[in-house]
Structure 1
Amino acid sequence: MHERAAAAVFCMSAPLPPLGGAPAPPPAAYRGLIGAIACIALFGVAQGMTHPLFAIRLEQGGWSSGMIGLSGAMVALSALTLAPFMPRVIRAVGLAGFLAGGAVLSSLTLLLFPLTESYWVWLLLRYVQGAASTALFVGAETWVVADSAEGSRGRVVGLYATILSLGFAAGPMILTGVGFEGATPFVACAALSLLCLAPLATAWGAAPASHPDDVATIAPLRFFRTDPTVMGAVMLFGAVEFGVMALLPVWGVKTGLDRDAATFLISVLVLGNVALQIPLGALADRWNRRWMMIGCGLTCVLAAAALPLLAQTQWPLWAALFVWGGLVAGLYTIALVELGARYRGATLVSANAAVVSAYGVGALIGPLT
């Protein structure tokens, strides 16, 4: 939703068949996991470039932080409004085809941004690009969860999050080399999105299959009552991810950093994500996940409160962002592991739909606060 994402889910309102059925043979399952994770890693690089790119370009155009935040919120709005239509597309084209369509749509949309400087056209394009992002994250995360073995789900989800975060961390670094001006950064992002098709092609036949005779019937909103800690953790993750990714470079510039140094703050945040997801995932396979989410959430709030006090420092600011990035992403990792441990089949699909809803609420609030 991750923008990352969206959760591993096909639908927020319409019933959806669960993926999987009979377990895939180990070689096919591994091939599918590798293909799905490689696909989203490449897309993560492109997404890691777009967050600071849009923020800096809009800031250069004289737009306020609120208007820049609104631009980031369009991605979350797209996920919330278009998710109900995704199951029909998946049933028609299959999971691998669904991912391929998202990659192509993302590439084409990114190529349209340099054709206009209109803020309002950019809002529309960000909505469309958000649809492509949602498709890729929904598809890839569903694939990973469906093919993960019981007892190692935390480690698999942690590995997925780590590799995705490496892509996010590389994005801003590549952007500083490519530059912010002209069409070049948009073309580079579009090319990376299109490269997602390569790993998909190698794993096409290993995608989990859908079964239309088994549908999810539990209302997703029920999980806000039965799993408030999970939903709250995901909302906090969505708010921080969208809000920080959209506005952190602008905040850095306003505190006196140059553009490249402000952009590097995102890389520090994401590197914390990279370092902590596998350990947190492994702990989530064994520890009380509810208390882990509470602990991560409280620490994230304290780190956020400390940032203004650290604005004129370097290493302390980087350390706070590192911890913040790792633990806030850990909220999402632990939440997925918890839902996977509690629910199966059609019920898990509905639970994932509730995660999309919670993530979308947080993602809409984050850039606007």
Structure 2
Amino acid sequence: MTHAISTADFAPDTAAIAAVIIGVTAFAVAQGLTYPLISLVLEHRSVPQSLIGFNAGCFAAGLGTATFAVGALTRLVRGDRLIVGGLVGCALSLSVFASSDNFWVWCVARFSLGVCVSLIFMLSEAWLNTACPDRLRGRISGLYGAGMCGGFAAGPLAIPLFGTKNGFAFALLAVYVACVAFLTVILTRKARTQPEQAASGALFSFVRRAPLLVGMVAAFAIADIAAISAMPVYFVRLGYSESFAAISVTILALPTALAQPLVGWFLDKTSRSGVALASALIAGLSFIAIPFLESQAAILIAFGIMGTASFSLYTCALTILGERFAGEALVAGSAAFALAYAIGSAAGSSTVGAVMDIYSPAAGPMTAGSVVLAFAVFYGLSLLRSRARSSS
């Protein structure tokens, strides 16, 4: 069964799409480096896993805080300028990691990074869906996902190159993000479209209208945060090197980036809800399989499959959002996605970190996989109920 095209056809706004993809790629490089690097640095300093999870939770708190401010901000400042401001804020936050060793200062910087990243996320997603027609929505969402995953893959490569004992990797990343902000300014001047403003109260209205989409992003967030934050520590505790732990995040992201355009093709040509269900099932089963694998090659293959499937949930949610909603509902939906990601990542980082401390390292991936499988079951049952109602 194929989806129904719900919006008029038009030429895509290539400048806007390029600005969005380049900006989100820069954010992804930052997140791909900071999540494993901060975790490994704090682990090296003998910080308890619970506090490492708290630090990651500060990032999630920043994500959540920004969702409640985006409506007022878009009424005061143009959306494309807010994206540039978010990139500049990311660069400044990263410079703090390079210049300070204080754990609590890092928590504040992580919170600030979360606020800035959330603005980039929400406005980029809304702008992307405004700038492309529905006939290309899945494939453009796939390119967006590929840029994001490519950034996740590239970020951890700085760890083997520059190590974890100084702030050079953070400083280099701050300069890179600042350069991307400048390039984004140039591209936005050529764009024909702008991100929409968000109406007051639209966020919670969207959650009531599309709870399954919000739940899909929350499931992705739990899987994502477990993969890039807790799993590097999981590998170190099992006796693998820090380099292997960092490279595993790259292996997680690289096939994910390459696969997203193909996922986008399936979303445009087949059932979008079917692709989402298959992604959730594969992601959950891959997580659960990892503790039972012994060879490094098998672990990395499972990691790559898990990353591809879990991120496909986000690509599915973004595509279905643009298919079903338009105008200010896109910003509201993107804000709801950011809030769901914040809640999911906060719950995922704290829960997975806690079960690894209390039980064993293997409890981390088992817990994350079980949560994603639970969503898959609920989503599948919801689809069956919808089909039963439509056929009766």
Structure-1-length-normalised TM-score:
0.86
Question: Who is 2:311 aligned against?
Answer: 329
Letter in 2 for 1:325: G
Residues 228, 196 of structure 1: alpha-carbon distance in 2 compared, 3 angstrom cutoff: same
Question: Who is 1:98 aligned against?
Answer: 82
Letter in 1 for 2:345: A
Question: Who is 1:251 aligned against?
Answer: 234
Question: Who is 1:63 aligned against?
Answer: 47
Quote the offset at 1:230 in angstroms: 2.1
Question: Who is 1:354 aligned against?
Answer: 336
Residue 91 of structure 2: which of 102, 107, 116 is its match? 107
Pairing 1:304–2:287 present? yes
Question: Partners in 2 of 1:82 and 1:220 — Cα distance?
Answer: 12
Question: Partners in 2 of 1:364 and 1:102 — Cα distance?
Answer: 21
Are 2:125 and 2:334, in contact at CA under 8 Å, matched by a contact in 1? Answer: no
Residues 82, 31 of structure 1: alpha-carbon distance in 2 compared, 3 angstrom cutoff: closer
Q: CA RMSD in A?
A: 2.2
Question: Partners in 2 of 1:167 and 1:210 — Cα distance?
Answer: 23
Question: Who is 2:17 aligned against?
Answer: 33
Question: Partners in 1 of 2:63 and 2:274 — Cα distance?
Answer: 29
Quote the offset at 1:210 in angstroms: 5.8
Quote the offset at 1:73 in angstroms: 1.5
Quote the offset at 1:209 in angstroms: 3.2
* Equivalence map 1:277-292=2 (5 Å): 277-292=260-275
Quote the offset at 1:211 in angstroms: 6.5
Question: Partners in 1 of 2:181 and 2:9 — Cα distance?
Answer: 25
Out of 255-264 and 100-109, give the one that drifted further. 100-109
Letter in 2 for 1:209: Q
Residue 267 of structure 1: which of 213, 236, 250 is its match? 250
Question: Partners in 2 of 1:154 and 1:211 — Cα distance?
Answer: 20
Pairing 1:74–2:58 present? yes
Quote the offset at 1:321 in angstroms: 0.6
Are 2:127 and 2:195, in contact at CA under 8 Å, matched by a contact in 1? Answer: no
Residues 346, 240 of structure 1: alpha-carbon distance in 2 compared, 3 angstrom cutoff: same
Question: Who is 2:224 aligned against?
Answer: 241
Are 1:91 and 1:210, in contact at CA under 8 Å, matched by a contact in 2? Answer: no
Residues 210, 72 of structure 1: alpha-carbon distance in 2 compared, 3 angstrom cutoff: closer
Residue 230 of structure 1: which of 213, 218, 232 is its match? 213
Higher RCO structure, 1 or 2 (CA under 8 Å, sep 6+): 1
Are 2:221 and 2:342, in contact at CA under 8 Å, matched by a contact in 1? Answer: yes
Are 2:126 and 2:196, in contact at CA under 8 Å, matched by a contact in 1? Answer: no
Question: Partners in 1 of 2:76 and 2:205 — Cα distance?
Answer: 28
Quote the offset at 1:169 in angstroms: 0.4
Residue by residue, what CA displacement relative to the aligned partner does 1:40-76 show, whole Å, maximum 9, x if unpaired?
Answer: 2233223221111101110011112221111112111
Question: Partners in 2 of 1:228 and 1:141 — Cα distance?
Answer: 18
Out of 353-362 and 246-255, give the one that drifted further. 353-362
Structure-2-length-normalised TM-score:
0.81
Question: Partners in 2 of 1:234 and 1:136 — Cα distance?
Answer: 16
Residues 341, 23 of structure 1: alpha-carbon distance in 2 compared, 3 angstrom cutoff: closer
Are 2:149 and 2:254, in contact at CA under 8 Å, matched by a contact in 1? Answer: yes
Residues 140, 227 of structure 1: alpha-carbon distance in 2 compared, 3 angstrom cutoff: closer
Residues 293, 218 of structure 1: alpha-carbon distance in 2 compared, 3 angstrom cutoff: farther
Question: Partners in 2 of 1:228 and 1:95 — Cα distance?
Answer: 26
Q: Is the helix fraction higher in 1 or 2?
A: 2
Question: Who is 1:13 aligned against?
Answer: none
Are 1:270 and 1:326, in contact at CA under 8 Å, matched by a contact in 2? Answer: yes
Residue by residue, what CA displacement relative to the aligned partner does 1:101-141 show, whole Å, maximum 9, x if unpaired?
Answer: 11221111221224432222211111011112112222322
Between the two proteins, the alignment pairs up a number of residues equal to 343
Are 1:220 and 1:350, in contact at CA under 8 Å, matched by a contact in 2? Answer: yes
Residues 152, 304 of structure 1: alpha-carbon distance in 2 compared, 3 angstrom cutoff: same
Are 1:166 and 1:274, in contact at CA under 8 Å, matched by a contact in 2? Answer: yes
Are 1:238 and 1:359, in contact at CA under 8 Å, matched by a contact in 2? Answer: yes
Question: Who is 2:194 aligned against?
Answer: 209
Residues 219, 278 of structure 1: alpha-carbon distance in 2 compared, 3 angstrom cutoff: same
Residues 42, 347 of structure 1: alpha-carbon distance in 2 compared, 3 angstrom cutoff: closer
Letter in 1 for 2:266: L
Identity of aligned residues (%): 27
Unmatched runs of 5 consecutive residues or more in structure 2: 1-7, 352-392
Question: Partners in 2 of 1:45 and 1:352 — Cα distance?
Answer: 21
Are 2:32 and 2:154, in contact at CA under 8 Å, matched by a contact in 1? Answer: yes
Question: Partners in 2 of 1:342 and 1:237 — Cα distance?
Answer: 20
Question: Partners in 2 of 1:248 and 1:156 — Cα distance?
Answer: 30
Question: Who is 2:347 aligned against?
Answer: 365
